[in-house]
Amino acid sequence: MRWAKRDCNHAVSDSNPPYKVAQFVVDGQVLYRASVQGEFIGEITTDPKEAQAICERHFLIMGSAQGDAA
């Protein structure tokens, strides 16, 4: 998966469906969360690379079939 920074997201993948890593600041701490099709997946993390890894593992399991269901 290739990742690029877009809009207000920390990173967006080139996959179909696209995965996104959102960045939040809570009490001064930067946090990241993975999502796909508007739904959060996995845990909140302090490492953006871990959030990307959550997306990549999810894609390996779910594949592009998830995009076909929409």
pLDDT digits (tens, 9 = 90+) for 15-44: 888 899 999 999 999 999 999 998 999 999
Domain that holds residue 48: 3-63
More confident residue, 49 or 4: 49
Give domain status of residue 68, yes or no. no
Listed residue (45, 38, 37) closest to 16, CA to CA: 37
pTM above 0.85, yes or no: no
d(CA 69, CA 53) in angstroms, rounded, equals 23
More confident residue, 10 or 68: 10
Q: How confident is the model at residue 65 (pLDDT cuts 50, 70, 90)?
A: low
The domain tally of the chain equals 1
DSSP state of 14: S
Give domain status of residue 28, yes or no. yes
Residue 13 amino acid letter? S
Give domain status of residue 70, yes or no. no
Query: Residue 31: which residues within 8 A CB-CB, separation 6 or more?
Result: 23, 24, 25, 44, 45, 46
Give domain status of residue 69, yes or no. no
Burial class, 34, CB count within 10 angstroms (exposed 0-12 / middle 13-18 / buried 19+): buried
